[in-house]
Structure 1
Amino acid sequence: MPLSDADIEEEQRHFSNVVATFRKYSSYHLAANNRRRKDLFTLPQADQVLLDQLGYKTKLDEVDKAISANEQFLNQIVVDPEIFGGDEEVPEEEDEATVPDSSPLVDTISQISQSSHSHSHSHSSHSHSHSHSHSPSHSHSSRKEYKPTAFDMDKLRSTLKQLVRDWSAEGREERETSYGPMKEALLAHFSDIPEEERRNFRVLVPGSGLGRLAYDVASLGFACQGNEFSHYMLLASFLILNKTERPNMHTIYPYVHSFSNLPDRASLLRAITIPDVEPTLPRGSVFSLVAGDFEEIYGKESDPNEPQAGLWDAIMTCFFIDTAKNIVNYLRVIHKILAPGGVWINLGPLLWHWEDNNTNDPSVELDLVEVKQLARMVGFEIENERTIDATYTTNSRGMLGYTYRTAFWTAKKII
C-alpha cells in the first residue's frame, strides 16, 4: 500500500535523525568523557595526585582514542545513506535475489511501508530500559540541526554491542547458545531434504537485527529472508554484508561508554574485530533483507503480486515475539504465512517491549503458559519444548551479566 506524503516525510525525518546520531557519536561521547575530567579537577589536590598515580587520567585519554576509533567505523556506516532511499519515496518490496557471485551479498535492503517511528528495543545485558519516547522531529524546510537524545545514543551503543554478538569471534559462544539450537531444529525438520534442494525451501527470520542468523540459514543452503525494522540495525548490517572485504576488517571498542562493573582497564578498552567470517555465500544462494514492520509487511491481505499466506516453509523467531504490542496478532500472522507442514522455531524470553510505554501504544503481556496456550488456540502444535539459559550482548569480562531462561520450542501448523 502506497505511503501518504506525510508518512514519507516522517519516515525520511526519522531516518535523517538516525544518520545524525551516527555522525554525532564522537562529539557526544567525548563530551561525556570530558565530564569525568572536570569531575576529577573538583577533587582535593591530594586525591587528584593519588588518582594520577593510578593512571586515571591516562585511562581517560585512552578512552578518547577508542571513541575516535569507533567514530571512524560508524562514519563508514553512514558514508552513503542514500542507499536506503534518502529523500526519495520508499519503494515497494522487491523479490529476493539469487546471489550471482561473492559480492555484493545483498544488493539492496528493501523498505516496506514503515511506520513513522522506530520500535526497536535491545535485550541489553546492561540496561533493561523500556523507554519508548520518540526522537524530536524537525522538518526538512527548517534545516534545523538535529540534536540526538540520550535515547538515540543508547540505541547506537546497543548496535555496537550487537555487532559483537552477531559478527565477532568474541560473540560466538553467546550467539551459538541461541542460534545453534534453532539451526539444529531447522535441519532436523528438513532432514529428508537433500542439501542441494534446500534452496527450494523458504525461511523467514523476523526481527533479524544485524542479519547473522539469517545469513547462517542461507549458508546452510535455504532460501532465507530477514526482516528488520530498526534503521540502526539495517545501516550496520548493510556495511557488514555488502562493504566488508575480509574477516576482521573492522575494529570497534564497544565497552568504553561505561566505567561501571569492570574488573580492570583491559575489559573497558579491549578491541573487538568484526566480522569473524567473510560474509559471502555460494553462487546461487537466495538471501534477502526486507526493512519494515513485521505485521505491516507480512500480516496484511496478500498482494496478488507478492502473496504471503502459506509462503514460508519455516519461520525462526529469536528474541522476537516479545516485541509485539498484540501477541495475538503476531501469532496469527506467523500461522497464516507458514506453509502447511512448515515449522515455527522460537527461542527467547518474554521481556515485553511495550510494557509501561509512554507513547500510549497498546500492550498485551502474557506469561509463558498463556503464550503457549494461545499458540495452540491459533493453530499450532508445540513440540520439543525446553528452557535454554542465554545471555544477550553481555560483556563476558564484566562484573555484571543477565541470564535469560529462554523458552525454546518448535511448532507445526495444524491445517
Structure 2
Amino acid sequence: MPFSQTEIEEEQAHFAQVISTFKQYAAYSLAANNRRRKDLFTLPRADQELLDSLGYKEKLAQADRAILTNAAFLNTIVANPEIFGHDLDVEEEASEQQQEGQNKQQKIQAPSHSHSHGHTHGSHSHSHSHGDPQASMHNASADNAQSKQQPHRPSDFDMDRLRSTLKQFVRDWSEEGRAEREVCYVPIRDALLDHFAHVSIEERRKLRVLVPGAGLGRLAWDVANLGFACQGNEFSHYMLLASYYILNRTDSINEHTIFPYVHSFSNLPNSVAMLRPIAIPDVLPSSLPPGSDFSLVAGDFEEIYGADDKEGEPHAGQWDAILTCFFIDTAKNIVNYLRIIHRILAPGGVWINLGPLLWHFENNSTNDTSIELSLEEVTNLARKIGFQVTHERSIGTTYTNNAQSMLGYVYHAAFWRATKAH
C-alpha cells in the first residue's frame, strides 16, 4: 500500500526530531549538570568547602567530560543518517526534510551482512526501556508540539530514550553487559539449537529466523553467527540509527568508549559506579562467517509481517523460528501479535519467548488500545490460537541495569518454547 504524502511528511518530521535529539544531547545533559553546580553555590560557604573536600566539584567536572565523550559518539552516529536515505539539516523547516516514498524500501549493503530497511511511517517508538515503564510510551504531545517553523527542542522523554539507547549499547555490545544479556540470550539460543539439533551446521543457512524487537541487533547477530539466516525487526529510530552504526561502521573491538551511567547521581556506592567508561563493541560485528544471511528490517512488526501477502514479501509459513526477547509486551493487541507469529511460522517451526509483561501501552494518554493479560492468560491464549507451549519456566534477569548501582530491578521473565499445534 503506498504511503500518503501526510504519512511521509510525518515520518520525515519525526526522524528529524530524533536526529535533533542526538545532536542536542550535550547541551541538554551539561545543563542538567550545571543545575547541580548552581545548587552547590546556594549553600553556605562552610558547606561548600566540606563538599569540595570530598571531591564533589571535581566529580561534576568529570561528569562534564564524560557527557562530552558521549556527545562525540552520538554525533558520529547521526553524522550521516544514510539508512533512511536522508542527508538532513535538522534545523531546517520540515518542508525541506521531505523524501520520496521509495526511501521506504531501501537495502544497504555491508561487508558481511546487510540492513534491509523498509521503514513504515509513524512517530511511535516501541524501544524497550524496561527500567522505566513510562519510557516505552508514545509521547504524542512531545512529537507534535513543534511547529514546522521552529527547531525541535528535545523533551525529557526524548532524552530518556536516547539515554536508554546508550545503556542498550552496554547490554548488547560490551563485555560489561555480557552477564546480563547472556542470562536471556543463552536460553534462547540453546532452545533454537535444540529444536533444530537434527539439522547440520551446513544446512542451518536454509533455516530462516526472525527476531522482532531486535533493538541494537546483538541477539539477531548471535543467531546469524550460529549459521542461521536471521532477520531482525525494529521500530525505534533511536535503536535503528544506533544499530546501523555499530553493525556497519565499526572497524575494531572496543573502538568506542561511552559513559552510560553519568546521567544520574542516585544510588551510587562510589563515583566509579557512575563515571566508569564502557568500551564497545566486545566483538567485531563484521566478523560473521562468509556467506552469512543477516539483515534488519525497520518498521512496525504488525504492519510488515501481518500485512496481506499480496501487499509485499509473503511471510505466511515462511519463518522456521521466531525469537521474542522482551518484545511481546509492546503489543497494543496481544491477540494480533500471537496470530501473526502463528501465521508466519513454517510447519515444524518454533517460537521461543523470554520476557516480562510490562504492557507498554497500559494507562497511556494517547487513546491507544491496550490489552493487558496475565502470564497465565497469555499462554492460554497461545494454546487457543494453535500453539503447543512447552518448556515453561521463569528466568530472573535485569535489563540495562547498572551492575554497580545500589538499586536494581529484577524481572521474573517468562520463558517458553511453542510449536504450531495446527
Do these two structures clear the TM 0.5 threshold for a shared fold by scoring above it?
yes
Mapped partners of 1:357, 1:137: distance in 2:
16
Alpha carbons 2:350, 2:418 under 8 Å: kept: yes
**1:129 Cα offset (Å):** 4.6
Q: What amino acid sits opposite 2:100 in the alignment? A: E
For 1:204 and 1:185, the matched residues in 2 are separated by 14
Alignment match, 1:293 = 300
- Residue correspondences, number: 409
1:398 aligns with 2:405: yes
1:331 counterpart residue number: 338
Partner of 2:65: 65
Structure 1 residues 129, 283: CA separation in 2 closer, same or farther (over 3 Å shift)? Answer: closer
Q: Which runs of 5+ in 2 are unaligned?
A: 87-97
| d(CA) in 2 for partners of 1:187, 1:319 | 20
Matches within 5 A, 1:292-311: 292-303=299-310, 306-311=313-318
**Deviation per CA, 1:71-116, whole angstroms, max 9, x where unpaired?**
110011000014312242344776989x8xxx53444441332324
Q: Is the 8 A contact 1:14 1:117 kept in 2?
A: no
- The one of 362, 379, 385 equivalent to 2:392 is 385
- CA distance in 2 between partners of 1:29 and 1:143 (Å): 25
Q: Secondary structure at the match of 1:104?
A: coil
Match of 1:186 in 2: 192
Which amino acid in structure 2 is aligned with residue 202 of structure 1? R
Separation of aligned partners in 2, 1:374 and 1:96: 36
In structure 2, what is the Cα distance between the partners aligned to 1:350 and 1:370? 11
Q: Which of 99, 108, 113 lines up with 1:88 in the alignment?
A: 99
Pair 1:409 & 2:420 matched: no
Number of the residue aligned with 2:89: none
Partner SS, residue 313 of structure 1: strand
**Counterpart Cα distance in 1 of 2:261 and 2:49:** 27
Which 4+ residue blocks in structure 1 deviate beyond 6 angstroms? none
Conserved in 1, the CA contact under 8 Å of 2:210 and 2:323? yes
User: 1:317 maps to what in 2?
Assistant: 324
Say if 2:315 and 2:344, in contact at 8 Å, map to a contact too: yes
Deviation at 1:133, TM superposition (A): 1.6
Within the alignment, does 1:369 sit opposite 2:380 as a pair?
A: no
Q: 1:234 aligns with which of 237, 240, 245?
A: 240
How many Å separate the matches in 1 of 2:143 and 2:107? 35
Taking structure 1 as the reference length, what is the TM-score of the superposition? 0.95
What is the alpha-carbon distance in structure 1 between the residues aligned to residue 20 and residue 176 of structure 2? Answer: 29
Contact 1:13 1:137 in 2 (8 A): no
Match of 1:354 in 2: 361
Moved more, 290-299 or 81-90: 81-90
Could you tell me whether the CA contact under 8 Å between 1:164 and 1:393 is conserved in 2?
A: yes
Tell whether the 8 Å contact from 1:388 to 1:405 is kept in structure 2 after alignment.
yes
Aligned residue runs from structure 1 range 16-415, under 5 A: 16-86=16-86, 87-91=98-102, 103-124=110-131, 129=135, 131-134=137-140, 135-137=142-144, 142-280=148-286, 281-303=288-310, 306-415=313-422
If asked which structure has higher relative contact order (CA below 8 Å, sep 6+), I would say 1
Letter in 2 for 1:62: Q
C-alpha deviations, 1:286-315, integer Å up to 9, x for none?
010000000000001113762110010000
Over the matched positions of the two proteins, sequence identity in percent amounts to 62
Aligned to 2:143, the other structure's residue is in SS state coil
Q: Give the letter for the 1:161 counterpart.
A: K
CA distance in 2, matches of 1:118, 1:21: 14
Alpha-carbon shift at residue 253 of structure 1 (Å): 0.1
The answer to whether the 8 Å contact 2:40/2:48 transfers is yes
For residues 101 and 125 of structure 2, the distance between their equivalents in structure 1, rounded to whole angstroms, comes to: 16
| Unmatched runs of 5 consecutive residues or more in structure 1 | none
Amino acid of the structure 2 residue aligned with 1:288 = S
Greater Cα shift, 55-64 or 106-115? 106-115
Q: How much is the aligned-residue C-alpha RMSD, in angstroms?
A: 1.8
Distance 1:377 1:67 in 2: 50
Secondary structure at the counterpart of residue 285 of structure 1 = coil
User: CA 1:257/1:330 → structure 2, altered by over 3 Å: closer, same or farther?
Assistant: same
1:232-273 deviation line (CA, Å, top 9, x unaligned): 000000110000001000000000000000000110100000
